[in-house]
Amino acid sequence: MRIAATADVVQKGDARNVHLPSPSYWPIVIAFGLPFIAYGLIYSLWFAVPGAICVIAGIYGWVMEPSVDDEGGHDDHHEPDHGPEAGTEAAEPAGSEEEASLVD
């Protein structure tokens, strides 16, 4: 039975093509209302009313929040920086001088 090598199963450590949602405070608002609902269900339904309002407002706010952070919480769509030498490599044919000297 062959066991996979570590190099075969691990992912690269670079953070390319990682998509994260924009940061939001609405999940905290929802989490704040849930204990009020639970307490209201146990003791008195009047305690559940503010919790339900808080949860409904949190869900509404979270759904209506823009999906992309305009202030730049993280930048998913940036081009890699090639530096000043980026244009010179494309102008030369692949393996020009070194390959020609090996052939001779």
Count of CA atoms in the C-beta half-sphere (13 A) of 9: 4
pTM (two decimals): 0.51
Whether the pLDDT of residue 57 is over 70: the answer is yes
Largest pairwise CA distance in the chain: 92
Q: What is the pLDDT of residue 69?
A: 58
- pLDDT tens-digit map of 18-46: 777 788 999 999 999 999 999 999 999 99
Whether the pLDDT of residue 54 is over 90: the answer is yes
Q: What is the pLDDT of residue 38?
A: 96
Alpha carbons 12 and 25: distance in angstroms, whole number:
31
Q: What is the pLDDT of residue 95?
A: 54
Q: What is the pLDDT of residue 81?
A: 56
Q: What is the pLDDT of residue 19?
A: 73
Three-state SS sequence of the chain: CCCCCHHHHCCCCCCCCCCCCCCCCHHHHHHHHHHHHHHHHHCCHHHHHHHHHHHHHHHHHHHHCCCCCCCCCCCCCCCCCCCCCHHHHHHCCCCCHHHHHHHC
- pLDDT tens-digit map of 60-100: 999 999 877 555 555 555 555 555 555 555 555 555 555 55
